[in-house]
Amino acid sequence: MAIVDLVINTQHPLQAVPPDWPGGFWWHWLFFTVVLIVFVLVMVMAVIYIERRGMGRMQSRLGPNRTGPFGIFQPVADAVKVLLKENIVPTNADKLVHWLAPVVAFAPALLIFAVVPFQNGALLADLDIGILYVVAISSVSTLGIFMAGWGSSNKYSLLGAMRNVAAIVSYEIPLVLAVVGVVLIAGSLSMNQIVLAQGIPFILLQPLGFLIFFIAGCAEINRSPFDLMEADSELVAGFHTEYSGMKFAMFYLVEYAEAVAISAIITTLFLGGWRGPVLPPWLWFIVKVVIVFFVMVWTRTTLPRIRIDQLMAFAWKCLFPLAVINLLITALQVLTLSQDLIWVMIPVNIAIMAVLVLLWSKFFKLGWGRVEV
C-alpha cells in the first residue's frame, strides 16, 4: 500500500505524465508495467481456476483438485505441461504468419490494462481518451486470430477465423454505442473520471447499456453462448486447431486475459470500478472483476451456442437498434434532467429496458435457417 500511495502522491492524480518528468515518469511506468503484467498473469491463472472449479461444481463434479491444496496450482501445472509440448507447425502453414499470430493476439489483451484504474489515479496512463483507446486496441486481437486461422492452412481454422472477424466487426458497434451512453452521463472519456463520476453505479442508470455491453463483450471475446470461433462440437477448436505448445498457451492466455479485460472494463464502466465501502479500493476492483467473470462462467455452463447467422442477426437487428435507442434516451435525459434528479433515471431506465427487451423479443426472430441449394 505504501508504495502505491507514494506513486500516487508524486504526481498529479489526473495527469498521465507527472510534473517531475522524466524521473517520475519512468518510475511510474516501470512500476505499473510490472504490476500490470503480474496482475494479468495472476488474474488469468485465478480465473482459469475459478472457471474450472466453478464449472465443475455446477456440473456436479469437482474440477481440478490434485495439484496443491484444492488444486490451486492446476493452472501452473497446465502451463508447465503445455510449455513442454512439442511445437508442431503444419507443413503447408504460412510459417511467419503462423508464428506471429499468437503474439499479435496477445499484445492488445495486455495493452488494454494500461488505462484501467485500480484505484483513484492508480493506472499506467490516465489517457483523456481512455475508453476510446480500449475500443481501438481491443479489436486488434482479431487480427491475430485471423492470422492464426489463415496461417494454419486448415479449413476448420479458417472457418473459425472468418466467423470471428464477422462477429467482432458486428459486435463492435453496439459495444461502442453502449459505452457512449456511459460517457454521456460521466461527461468524460477518461476511465478514472468515469469511475469518479459513479456516485451511483452506472449499471443502475444504464441497465440497458450494461446488458448490451455485457452481451457484446461476451461476443467480442468468444465467450459462450457466442463461442462460435472455437465451437468444439463444430469446428474442433476453431482457429487454434493447429497450434500446440507455447503458441497454444499464448492463445489460451489471450482468451482469459481478454475475459479479465472485459470484466475489468465492465467493472470500471458500470459497477463503479474501485469504489466501495470498507475494503481497500484495489480489492474492491478485483472482487468486482471476479464477480463479472463468474457470471460469464455461469452463462457458459448453461447456455447452448447460437448459430453464425443468428449471431449476426442478433447484433444488427437486436443489439444495434437497442443501443441506438438507449443512446437517444440517455442523451435526452442528460439534456433535460439536472444533476440532483439523477436518481429519477434509475426506475425510468429499468422500466424502459424491460419494455424494450420485451418488445424486441416479440418482434425479433432469430435466423431464418434454410438456404435453398
Partner 1 sequence: MTIETKEMMLRTEPFVLNFGPVHPSTHGVYRMRATLDGEVVLDIEPVFGYLHRGIEKLAEQRTFTGFIPLTDRLDYVSSMSNNLAYVMAVEKLAGIKVPERAEYIRVIMAELQRIANHLIANGSFLNDCGAYFTPFLYMFREREKIIDLFEMVSGQRLTYNYMRVGGVSQDIPDEFLPALAKFVKQMPGKVDEYDRLLKQNEILLARAKGVGIISKEQAVNCGISGPILRASGVKWDWRRADPYSIYDRFEFDIPTASDGDCYDRFRVRMEEMRQSLRIVEQAMKQIPAGPVRAEVPHIVRPPAGEAYVHIEAPKGELGFYLVSDDSIAAYRCHVRPTSLINLTALREMVRGWKIADLIIIFGSIDICLGEVDR
Partner 2 sequence: MKFERYGIGIVKGLTVTISHLLRHPTVSQYPEQRLNVSRRIRGNELIWSREKCTGCGTCAKTCPQGAIEIVTSTNLAENKYEVEKYQVDNGYCIQCGLCVEACPYDALYMGYSFERAKYRRGELVQADDMLLESAERPASGYFHPEIAQKLPRQTLLIERITEKR
Please give the residue ranges that form the binding site for partner 2 (CB under 8 A): 54, 56-62, 65, 298-299, 301-303, 357-358, 361-362
Q: Residue 101 CA to chain centroid, in angstroms? A: 20
Question: For partner 1, which residue of 157, 188, 224, 263 counts as binding (CB under 8 A)?
Answer: 224
Interaction of residue 372 with partner 1, rule CB under 8 A: yes
Interaction of residue 225 with partner 1, rule CB under 8 A: yes
* Touching partner 1, residues 234-273 (CB under 8 A): 234-236
Instruction: Quote the least distance from Cβ 156 to partner 1, whole Å.
Output: 8
Instruction: Quote the least distance from Cβ 59 to partner 2, whole Å.
Output: 7
Interaction of residue 362 with partner 1, rule CB under 8 A: no
Interaction of residue 310 with partner 1, rule CB under 8 A: yes
Binding partner at 275 among partner 2, partner 1, none, C-beta below 5 to 8 Å by kind: none
CA distances to 2, 125, 174, 187, 282 from 17, rounded to whole Å, are: 21, 8, 32, 22, 22
291 within 8 A of 142, measured Cβ to Cβ: no
269 within 8 A of 175, measured Cβ to Cβ: no
Interaction of residue 309 with partner 1, rule CB under 8 A: yes
Instruction: Quote the least distance from Cβ 223 to partner 1, whole Å.
Output: 11
Smaller CB separation from partner 2, 196 or 292: 292
User: How far, in Å, CA of 116 to CA of 35, rounded?
Assistant: 12
Instruction: Quote the least distance from Cβ 372 to partner 1, whole Å.
Output: 6
**Quick one: cell of 373?**
441449394
User: How far, in Å, CA of 291 to CA of 100, rounded?
Assistant: 33
Instruction: Quote the least distance from Cβ 252 to partner 1, whole Å.
Output: 16
CA distances to 152, 244, 278, 321, 338 from 84, rounded to whole Å, are: 21, 10, 44, 49, 61
Place of cell 470500478: 273
**Quick one: cell of 225?**
453462448
Smaller CB separation from partner 2, 277 or 304: 304
Instruction: Quote the least distance from Cβ 85 to partner 1, whole Å.
Output: 19
Instruction: Quote the least distance from Cβ 58 to partner 2, whole Å.
Output: 5
Interaction of residue 371 with partner 1, rule CB under 8 A: yes
Kindly write down the DSSP assignment for every residue of 232-292, as one continuous string: HHHHTTGGGTT--HHHHHHHHHHHHHHHHHHHHHHHHHHS-TT--SSS-HHHHHHHHHHHH
Question: For partner 1, which residue of 2, 3, 61, 362 counts as binding (CB under 8 A)?
Answer: 61
Which sign does the torsion angle of CA 150, 152, 153, 155 carry? negative
Interaction of residue 156 with partner 1, rule CB under 8 A: yes
- Identify the CA nearest to 29 among candidates 7, 5, 1, 3: 7
Amino acid in the structure at residue 192: N
Interaction of residue 300 with partner 1, rule CB under 8 A: yes
Interaction of residue 168 with partner 1, rule CB under 8 A: no
282 within 8 A of 118, measured Cβ to Cβ: yes
Q: Summarize as ranges the residues that interact with partner 1 (CB under 8 A).
A: 55, 58-61, 155-156, 159, 163, 224-225, 227-228, 231-236, 300-310, 361, 366-367, 369-373
